[in-house]
Copies of this chain bind each other. A is one copy, B any other.
Amino acid sequence: MKKSLCRFLMGCLVWGAACNPAPSPHWTADLAIEGATILTMDPSRALYAPGTLLIKDGAILALGPQDSLAGQYVATRRLQAEGQLVLPGLINTHCHAAMVLFRGLADDLALQDWLQFYIWPAEAEFIDSLSVRVGTQLAMAEMIRGGITTFNDMYFYMDEVARAAKAAGMRAVIAEGLLDFPVPGSPNPEQGLARTRRLLEGYQNDPLITVAVGPHAPYSCSSGLLQQADSLARRWEAPLHIHLSETRTELADIARPYGGLSPPAYLDSLGLLGPRTIGAHGVWLSPADIELLAARQVGISHNPESNMKLASGVAPLVALRQAGVKLGLGTDGAASNNNLDLWQEMNTAAKLQKVHLEDPAAMEAYAILLMATRGGAQLLGLDQQVGSLEVGKRADLQIVDLQGPHAHPIYNLYSQVVYALRAGDVRTVIIDGRLVMEDRQLLTLDEASIFRQVDSLAGHIREKLLAP
């Protein structure tokens, strides 16, 4: 009697266990980042300390306070990030990546001398598909090391840039620079437009590469070329990337032939101002210009270190912000910076406005970091995919050390990011869910090889342009 009762009870237990298995995990992730303080930069300013972030198929599957997610998931790989900071990857909204090849080539000169005697001769002689490939790789190595996960590039041989970016796993918006006169890769603007069309066709729906149309500037393109560029951008719903009101000279150069119009007003007269237009610099903007940009939903890439180094001026950043103009942060080319360090750019942007406006409360730290993340994504039309850490967005993020003396103490994380932390604090970078740098080891770029090629090329440039 007892024996069969036991067996019966045992049977019940087994049956019970089979019908009520341990609850299956809520989430199954490829990668779980654990233990870090997470600054999401989402519209609610959500911050998790500590938090957990789960990545699946390149997107953010879940994120939230560590306690809430504990025990709710399994992950193929767990990345321990205790004591570290997780942020969205930074977005460099205006650069000429391959110009790293000319970093420091000729500084501290008057602008016209710099361009005429160094930059233009260097480009004419040395910019080809190979040097653009290698230069872009060097630039990406630098950018990834500094936590930049998306860059908005305007240069030449952009087919090489696209290929290099995809191989490195970097997100990029690319535009072949269109100008009236011959440039590397395009002896005339029709060639530039043809290159652009091929890129638009080739990279439709590409997960990492967005092709933009890049008429260089209002003063370097005929109105006909500007309109062709605009038509092409409209047909493809592509961003339009253009230098805008960068220098005082540009204002005069446009006003003269175009009946006193400002560069934005002139572009508007041709139909180029719209929600997909990205204006680079926007330094010399009148209140009327700012109103016009806001009305047309044009965005501006603010590039303070370049503006300072070339003595272009100080952009009306606060007024642009107040008018609701989309704003991003850019390094411009390394020949006028001279690095591609968006952390330094953030620090400079905040301080330049404070001293310019005589207001220590201008452009608070959070607003600056917003420009470098979600704001930049909005400017590039990528805010559905990136710019903040939110469920469903692509997993573009950086993990930052808080171990140097300059990281102690911390009272306000946003303040620490903008005024104390540095590019060198970035240890790990993930783009579209893929590790591109881990513990400061680049995983998708061969630095030693890149350095060898760059230094060799620089030797030729030095001989040609700098020999006594």
CB atoms of B454 and A107 under 8 A apart? no
- Cβ-based interface call for A422 (8 A): yes
A296 on interface, CB distance cutoff 8 Å: no
Count how many chain A residues have C-beta atoms less than 8 Å from C-beta atoms of the other chain. Answer: 74
**Secondary structure call for the A interface:** helix
A462 and B339: CB pair below 8 A? no
Q: Give the residue of B110, B312, B420, B466 whose beta carbon is less than 8 angstroms from that of A361.
A: B110
Q: Given A110-B360, A344-B347, A454-B409, A104 and B415 touching (CB < 8 A)?
A: yes
Residues of B within 8 A of A105 (CB): 411
State whether the Cβ of A289 lies closer than 8 Å to any Cβ in chain B. Answer: no
When the two chains form their complex, are residues A405 and B447 in contact, meaning their CB atoms are under 8 A apart?
yes
For A412, the closest partner residue in chain B by CB is B104
The answer, yes or no, to whether A67 is at the interface (CB within 8 Å) is: no
The segment from A202-210, A225-233, A256-264, A302-310 found at the interface with B is: A302-310
Look across to chain B and name the residue whose beta carbon is closest to the beta carbon of A406. Answer: B339
**Nearest-neighbor residue (CB-CB) of A142 within chain B:** B405
- Which of these, B104, B405, B455, contacts A419 with CB under 8 Å? B104
**In chain B, what residue has the closest Cβ to A348?**
B348
A359, B103: Cβ atoms closer than 8 Å: no
Q: With the chains together, A335 CA to B382 CA distance in Å? A: 36
Q: Which residues of B contact A405 (CB under 8 A)?
A: 100, 138-139, 141-142, 145, 447, 450-451
Q: Does A410 contact B (CB under 8 A)?
A: yes
Instruction: Please name the residue on chain B nearest to A111 by beta carbon.
Output: B360
The interface residues of chain B lying within 8 Å CB-to-CB of A103 are: 406, 408-409, 411, 416, 420
The answer to whether B422 touches A423, judged by C-beta atoms less than 8 angstroms apart, is yes
B361 near A408: Cβ-Cβ < 8 Å: no
1/0 contact string of A429-468 vs chain B (CB within 8 Å): 0000000000000000001001100110110011000100
Sample (18) of A-B pairs whose CB atoms are under 8 Å apart:
A103-B409, A103-B411, A103-B416, A105-B411, A107-B412, A107-B419, A108-B364, A110-B360, A138-B408, A142-B404, A311-B360, A311-B362, A337-B419, A348-B348, A408-B454, A409-B455, A423-B424, A424-B424
Q: Given A107-B415, A338-B420, A422-B424, 4 other A-B contacts at CB below 8 A?
A: A138-B408, A310-B354, A344-B347, A348-B351
